Homo-oligomer: A and B are copies of this chain.
Amino acid sequence: MADGSDWEPGEALRGIAELDLDRASRRGYPEAVYCEGKTAEQVGAIATEVGARGARTLFTRAGPEHAEAVLAQLPDAAHDATARLLAWPAEPPEPTGGDVLVVAAGTSDLPVATEALLVARHLGRRAEIVVDVGVAGLHRILSRLDRLRSARAIIVVAGMDGALPGVVAGLVSAPVIAVPTSVGYGAAFEGLAPLLTMLNSCAPGVAVVNINNGYGAGHLAAQIAEPHGP
C-alpha cells in the first residue's frame, strides 16, 4: 500500500470533497470519511480515490447504500453493519502501544461500542469489549476489576442515566472516555441526559465525546494508548 504522498485527486472528486492527504503524516492516523449526509454517489467517488491513492481509510456512519457504494469500489474492504463502519484495507495494522478496553452498559449500546472497538483496532491498538455492565448491578463491574485496571485507556458507552463512566473512573487510574448514547426513555432527550451526567462526573478522569460518537472515542483511545519511548 502506497503512502499517498504523491497522489492527485481524480476528476470525479472535484467539487464534492477534498481529502486530507497528509493527515497520516501530520497527525499519525488515517483519514475517516463521515458518510451521513453524503449521497451514495459521493461516497463512491471518494472510495475510488481512496483506492487510487492507496492510504488506509475508514468510512463511518455508513448506511447500507453507502456500504454498497464503497464495496463496489473497494471489494476487499471490511464492513461491520452494526457499527456502520467500513475499513480499507480490511486488516488492522499490527497492534502497538497499550491496551484499550471498551465497556458497553447495555446491549442497546452495542452499535456505538462496536464502532469504538473497531476504530481503536484499525488505528493500531489491541482492543477488547465487555457488554452489559450497568450500575444497577454493581457486582457485574466489580467482578471485572482486574481487566479494567490492566487497560491503558477505557471507553465506556452508556445511555439512560450515563452513570457507568463515573463509577468506572473511580476504580482505575487510566483515563476513561465516556460516550453517551441516545438509548432510553423520554427524558434521556436523545442522549442529552447521559451526556450531562458524564460531563458532571464526580470522579475525575472522565473525558467526554459526542453522543453516539464511537469513532471519536476509538480515535481518542488510540491516541492515549500510543506507544512512547521509555
Contacts and interface: CB of A to CB of B under 8 A. Distances in A.
Interface of A: 15-18, 20, 22-23, 26-29, 32, 34, 36-38, 42, 46, 98, 105-110, 129, 131-140, 142, 152, 159-163, 166-167, 169-175, 177, 180, 182-213, 215-216, 219-220, 223-224, 226, 228-230
B230 A137 contact: no
Contacts of A159: 37
Contacts of A160: 200-202
7 contacts: A20-B136, A23-B137, A106-B202, A160-B201, A187-B192, A205-B220, A224-B224
A61 B117 CA distance: 28
B200 A140 contact: no
Contacts of A105: 202
Given A198-B161, A220-B207, A212 B186 contact: yes
A202 B104 CA distance: 13
A34 B200 contact: no
A200 B204 contact: no
Given A18-B131, A131-B15, A131-B18, A204 B219 contact: yes
A113 to B, nearest CB: 11
B210 A207 contact: no
